Structure 1
Amino acid sequence: MRTPALTALVLSLSLTACARMEGPSLPLVTTLDFTSFDAQQGTLKLRGGTPSGLLSKDAEPEYITVSADGRAAYVTLQESNAVATVDLTSGRITKVSNLGLKDHSVAGAALDPSDKDGGVHIATWPVYGAYMPDAIASFTGGGKTYLITANEGDSRGYTGFTDEAKVSALKLDPTVFPNAVALQADSALGRLTVSRVDADTDGDGDADRLVAFGARSVSVWTTDLTRVADTGDLFERKTAELVPSAFNSNGTASTFDTRSDNKGPEPEGVTVATVGGRPLAFVGLERTGGVMVLDLSTPAQPTFVSYANTVDVTATPASGAAGDLGPEGLLFIPADQSPDGQPILVVANEVSGSTTLYRVSTTGTLTRIGRYQVTPYAYDQGAAEIPAYDSASKRLFVVNGATKGLDILNIADPTAPALAGQVNLGAYGASANSVTVKNGVVAVAVQAAVKTDPGKVAFLNADGSERAPAVTVGALPDMLTFTPDGSLLLTANEGEPNDDYSVDPAGSVSVINVAKALAKK
């Protein structure tokens, strides 16, 4: 349900949709929703099947990247398997692009779909994967801007609605799947979690196709969302080769193969940086763990560079002895901003609650140099989720889901990150979801106590004190990012429904005029 304030924001947007998003006339907050695309949902062939049946409700914006010139933003709509394009010069969402499906029956795009097949069995199967990206980043190659997505996959699982089903529970169309009995065995596809709402394409009550959540890969796209590359089955094959005892696991040998039936290694986070003259992608594998490094010098042919995984696979995951589990947020610190003058990759690990610093060599290999572990140990409570860095104070800001606040780490010595403070964000809402820093301004996305209500963005100083009053944005603000010049701050407001689906707020993107936000008293 929209509050009067949110309704006023949307009305203001509709009256000023053609105004340029620059200069002193820009409002404090402009919230963009997807109402104008509701009539196009069928034409766009976006994932649906929800109680609302409306893109404006279903979009659930997840992650944002902004072009280097600051004129466009690209927003992942994970559950809708789409990316939205935002024109920051006109203040409009100009396009919603359906990302299509990955064909796992094609050589090079194989997968292991079963946790009951006795081990590693990567093969082609009559299954599609909905890309459903979480993180997105942009980079330049040959003078062109490209996008790269981490194709995690995510289902809608609520008491009031679920789009999940096991293949064994579906009635398969006998014409499409003449070998249905064999396919539905546990050692074949029977255990695989697929989309119930994407299965029946002709409305006759049986499954005409099998669509898994996520693509177990990263993909490279042009800015018009034409796919130019996908890493196929690279991540599963490389983890099977390099950490075989933890293949498709939750990071350790005791959970070996348990994730094969549900998104496999689960690539979630991605960031891109130029190192040694080459654009490199750093990809966090949320389930298997570790970071894949890819060379993007030829955007149409990403190539494997290295894989860093420091987990002790022999340890019990919940013991605290396994190391870094569940990489969630990745942050690259270039040499000219780094505390020691050398490039660093920061990885926040949500399951283990640890923040890890890696040295990045010119060859693209990662060497762990420092680590901070939240204490007391909080297993799988999101105690380290999203990191951000302020070069002036040499501090990291890390979202701590266990405390629902923000941890401040001093990394003046990157080999010994130390807790410098903690920020209680209770005055702004229930919990922090994301953080970013630009020009000394620390911005934090905070969801409301009732997650379907509008959230807030808090503005802090590097010591955690309030810099300016918080501003109201859409429901469930998550990832947020500044434009390159720091003049605008964008938030992806997921707008998830409540558990029984009786309240389903609009997904939206809020654009904040930073100068006006900081001038508030």
Structure 2
Amino acid sequence: MNNKWIIAAGTALALGLAGCNSGSSNRSNPEEPPAPAPELTPESISLSFLGRYSSGIFGQSAAEIPAFDPINRQIFVVNAQNGAIDVLDASDLSNPSLIQTLTMETIAPGAVVNSVAYRDGLLAVAVEAANKTDNGYAVLVDTNDLSILDHTQVGAQPDMLTFTPDGRYLLVANEGEPSDDYSVDPEGSVSVIELDGQQIVSVRTAGFQAFNDQKQALIDQGVRIFGPNASVAQDLEPEYIAVSADSLTAWVALQENNALAKLDIASATITDVLPLGYKDHGLDGNGIDASDTDGVIDIRTWPGVVGMYHPDSIAAYSVDGATYIVTANEGDARAWGETNQAYWDGDASQGFVEEIRLKHLVHRSGFARRVGDDMPPHLHALAAGALLNPEVFGYCGASAGEPGDCREDDLLGRLTVSWVDGYRKDASGNPVMFDSNGNPDPAGDRIMYDQIYAFGARSFSIWDENANLIWDSADQFEQFLASDECRTGALRDTPCRDYFNSNHSAGDSFDNRSDNKGPEPEGVAIGKLGEKTYAFIGLERMGGVIVYDISSPQAPHFVDYLNTREDWVSDPQTNLANVGDLGAEGLVFVAANDSPNGEPLLIIGNEVSGTTAIYQIDQLFAD
């Protein structure tokens, strides 16, 4: 069926078309929700805007990760601006309101909240220590009276947590990021917390120390392990967790490492580290817009350029007994010490930054010209300059010793890339050196890039249990945002292409993010409606939520897109009350049986606008 049946947001679909659901007529009385509709399978779905709560705080992550309590009709939202949880009354979905703010100061002075998860009257809270490299905490809160029931120490920087489907375990991803100067680098880990009702029974740590002696093998397989003086356990940084339906296995996103870890839950053991590989932007259908200054939409293929999937949020679902992993391929660079001028002046002990514009990486004059500006001292210590392989990049003008037009702003020059990967190495992993004219020379001072690594894949992907790629959305996100079909705003009245790849923190910023990670897919939630499974992917920069039917993992298809940013021109910081929603971060799906109005919902935390938005998932049923 044609999906152009979408109607203006704020108007409920007449679901009675199928004679099955009359729930939308009861929205005006949230105290008496309609009886749950039968579990029917929709022909299609669309999103419509219901309401939002605004913290009134711009650009300080005042709304990040949401969780929903169907019993008390509460939304819990991580407010990173004050390191706490905003508790919202969601009885009136059109006007959610703040009940109170819940802090974790009684757990540890200066502690801040990173994430939340809900199950059966329990709110699990990930709490980071005041010094982020110290061990953090997992806390259980009674959602009826918001009292703390129990807590335990976990690893450094607990960043995300989730209950297993059977409710027996709480799993915590301890990211273990380094200090800003990289002088302290905690080990990443996953805490496996066994629960008995509302109490913690035991805590075990699934770490990566067993992989320390496999460092080179992991690197050879494609796992990015590159922190200065870091062991494998220190370098791997768990970001997000997805769990199989049988509660036996979990997959952990290792974002900066471009890999997934596989966790046996019962034994609290990491059984494997699975590289995700790289997306070839030289292949038809995998194009990107690589320039933010050319003033046009220019999605094209770039041979020699690959994208690092670098998933942020991940989720799992089952089809015919097999588990599949859905990833939002955001991309994320290691950039520590970037605000410390001593680092840029050449003191490598003050941090580690892996990102650089291609035009500054491959310049005939070498690296010295950028010292004190944006030249990472670790790169400068590696060589005096860098070249492009003319056999790969000849199509944009590279020749022996010369980058040619490849570094021009309207080609690849503006693209933000990683200098860590792609240069030629010998069998021992050492750089192969060249002279400034591109001739191999052991006494030379240049390195040569055979491949360029960009951050993120500007897509979402589906993987099997062993991280084999089943399907990727290729360049569909950017192509859709550039199309005449795409409209933004709650009323879908603004052409997306007019603000293609805009930044979430600025007005009138057409094409601003093309040189970086494009629309930057970050959050993902999965919802099942009848026999169909849908993926809801939040786009951090362009904003909004894009929906795919993923019922067939091998053949997902686009369903809808809703972006409730309303003002694309004025400065959002000075027009916050009217700008709408900026910077989709975390998403949670609410089933119809749990919803205050009897309709399935999607709740989105928008970190830049500091707003928590509520979308209704409108279902269209066949006659």
Contact kept, 8 Å, 2:205 with 2:268, in 1: the verdict is: no
Shift of 1:2: 8.6
Contact in 1 for aligned 2:225/2:236 (Cα 8 Å): no
Q: Which moved more, 1:43-52 or 1:110-119?
A: 43-52
Specify whether residues 42 and 363 from structure 1 end up closer, same or farther in structure 2 by C-alpha distance, changes over 3 A only.
farther
Whether 2:281 is the aligned partner of 1:90: answer no
Cα distance, 1:21–1:259 mapped onto 2, change above 3 Å? closer
Instruction: Provide the aligned length of Structure 1 versus Structure 2.
Output: 354
Confirm whether residue 151 of structure 1 aligns to residue 329 of structure 2: yes
Equivalent residue number for residue 527 of structure 2 = 273
Q: Measure the CA separation in 1 of the matches of 2:415 and 2:134.
A: 41
Distance change in 2, residues 1:90/1:206 (3 Å)? same
> Are the aligned partners of 2:307 and 2:455 in contact in 1 as well (CA < 8 Å)?
yes
Match of 2:217 in 1: 43
Task: Answer with 1 or 2: which has the greater Rg.
Answer: 2
Q: Could you say which structure has the greater relative contact order, defined with CA pairs below 8 angstroms and 6 or more residues apart? A: 2
Secondary structure of the 1:336 match is: helix
Trace 1:72-87 onto structure 2 (pairs within 5 A): 72-87=249-264
Counterpart of 1:240 in structure 2 is: 482
Matched, 1:176 2:392: yes
* 1:304-315 correspondence to structure 2 within 5 Å: 304-312=558-566, 313-315=568-570
Equivalent residue for 1:220, pick from 443, 462, 466: 462
Whether the 8 Å CA contact 1:21–1:88 is kept in 2: the answer is no
Matched, 1:299 2:553: yes
Distance 1:332 1:115, change over 3 A: same
1:333 aligns with 2:590: yes
Match of 1:250 in 2: 503
Q: Is the CA contact 2:226–2:235 (under 8 Å) kept in the aligned structure 1?
A: no
Q: Contact conserved, 1:113 with 1:192, CA < 8 A, in 2? A: yes
Question: What is aligned with 2:246?
Answer: 69
Match 1:34 to one of 171, 193, 208? 208
Which amino acid is 2:258 matched to?
N
| Secondary structure class of the residue paired with 2:524 | strand
Distance 1:305 1:201 in 2: 43
Partner AA of 1:361 in structure 2: D
Partner of 2:354: 163
Tell me, yes or no, if the aligned pair for 1:150 and 1:268 is still in contact at 8 Å. yes
Q: Secondary structure at the match of 2:233?
A: helix
CA–CA separation in structure 2 for the residues paired with 1:134 and 1:4: 22
Moved more, 306-315 or 64-73: 306-315
Deviation per residue, 1:387-426 (Å, 9 max, x gap): xxxxxxxxxxxxxxxxxxxxxxxxxxxxxxxxxxxxxxxx
Opposite residue 114 of structure 1, the aligned amino acid is S
Query: Within 2, Cα distance between the matches of 1:174 and 1:31?
Result: 48
Give the TM-score normalised by the residue count of structure 1: 0.64
2:572 paired residue among 311, 317, 326 = 317
What do you get for the CA RMSD once the two structures are aligned? 2.5
Change (3 A) 1:70 1:315: same
Q: Whole-Å Cα distance in 2 between the matches of residues 5 and 213 of structure 1?
A: 29
The 5-angstrom pairing of residues 333-482 of structure 1 reads 333-363=590-620
Which amino acid in 2 is paired with 1:147? I
Taking every aligned residue pair, what percent have the same amino acid on both sides? 44
Q: 2:194·2:203 contact (CA, 8 Å) conserved in 1?
A: no
Cα distance in 1 for partners of 2:584, 2:300 equals 26
What corresponds to 2:95 in structure 1? none
Quote the offset at 1:4 in angstroms. Answer: 10
Paired residues of 1:246 and 1:253 also in contact (CA < 8 A): no
Q: Quick one: distance in 2 between partners of 1:330 and 1:23?
A: 25
Deviation, structure 1 residue 175: 3.4
* 1:97-136 equivalence runs, <5 A: 97-126=274-303, 127-136=305-314
Code of the residue aligned with 2:317 in structure 1: it is F
Per the alignment, do residues 199 and 135 of structure 1 end up closer, same or farther by CA in structure 2, a change over 3 Å counting?
A: same
* Deviation (angstroms), 1:96: 0.6
SS at match of 1:255: coil
Q: Within 1, Cα distance between the matches of 2:193 and 2:356?
A: 44
Query: Residues of 2 paired with 1:65 and 1:77: CA distance?
Result: 12
Contact 1:250–1:325 under 8 Å retained in 2: no
Matched residue SS, 2:316: strand
Provide the C-alpha distance between the structure 2 equivalents of 1:217 and 1:194, rounded to a whole number of angstroms.
17
Q: Secondary structure in 2 aligned to 1:175? A: helix
Task: Write the letter of the residue equivalent to 1:184.
Answer: R
Instruction: Check whether the contact 2:586–2:606 (CA below 8 A) recurs between aligned residues.
Output: yes
1:48/1:197 contact within 8 Å kept? no
Q: Does 1:137 align with 2:315?
A: yes
Runs of 4+ in structure 1 over 6 Å off: 1-6, 20-24
